[in-house]
Amino acid sequence: MKAGKSKRYFFQSLLAICFMAIVLPVSLASNDHIEPADFLAQVFSGELPDSATVWLSGEKKEIAANILGHKPDFLRARYWGNSERSAWILDEIGKTEPITIGVVVANQRIEDVQVLAFRESRGWEIKHDFFTRQFKGASMVGEQQLSSNIDGISGATLSVRAMTNVSRLVLFLSATLNS
């Protein structure tokens, strides 16, 4: 009787583990995205400031290429806000598809990073808070490096790299707003 009961518990536990193994990754990988307008409204509490642009030309273009590891896909980057606090929305390819990333910089430190749209089939873990919170408070040190160490995610190397590089680029570009 006792053996039958423990056997039933064993199979119930096994079923539960199988269910979690199937359902959990699917729910975490769901294709939800944040509208850029909603991101900006959230950052500026509904009062959207004017936007302005920074041209990537000359030395800025070279530094941007060094940060990204390739020639930037755009010649000017747009931001909302001012040199003290600004929000940027940039696209960067993870593996094959662009990831839309929103970055907020306040006083030359990252205030927030969010994945607004993720189109790759792998590496979606970067959109979760457990990963993005590593960027909060990071500033730029040395040759456009982040002051905080960003722990990678196994299987999401390229997505992690894309987000790290976009954060570095935004810190670099926001620093040029003062000059």
Partner 1 sequence: MVNRRALLSLHRRIGIVSALFVVLLSISGLLLQHISSIGFDNSFISSNTLLRWYGFEIPHVESTYASESAQVSLIEDALFFNGSRLAGSYSSLQGVVDTESGSMLLTIVATDSQMLLLTQAGELIELLDSVHGVPSGIDSLGREVQGQSTGLFLQVFGEVIKADIDALSWTPREGGEQGISWSQEVLPENEKLQQIRESYSASLLSWERIVLDIHSGRVLGSFGVFLVDLMAVLFLFMAITGVWLWSRRRPGS
Please give the residue ranges that form the binding site for partner 1 (CB under 8 A).
35-37, 40, 51, 53, 73-78, 89, 95-96, 98, 158
| Comparison of 85 and 119: residue with beta carbon closer to partner 1 | 119
CB of 166 to partner 1, least distance (A): 16
CB nearer partner 1, residue 94 or residue 131: 94
CA–CA separation, 179 and 174 (whole Å): 10
- Say if CB 158 and CB 98 are below 8 A apart: no
Minimum CB–partner distance for residue 72 and partner 1 (Å)? 9
Residue 128 CA to residue 116 CA, distance in Å, equals 11
- Minimum CB separation of residue 176 from partner 1 in Å reads 17
Measure the CA–CA gap between 74 and 84, rounded to whole angstroms. 24
Q: Which is nearer to partner 1, 74 or 130 (CB)?
A: 74
Whether 81 and 44 have beta carbons less than 8 Å apart is answered as yes
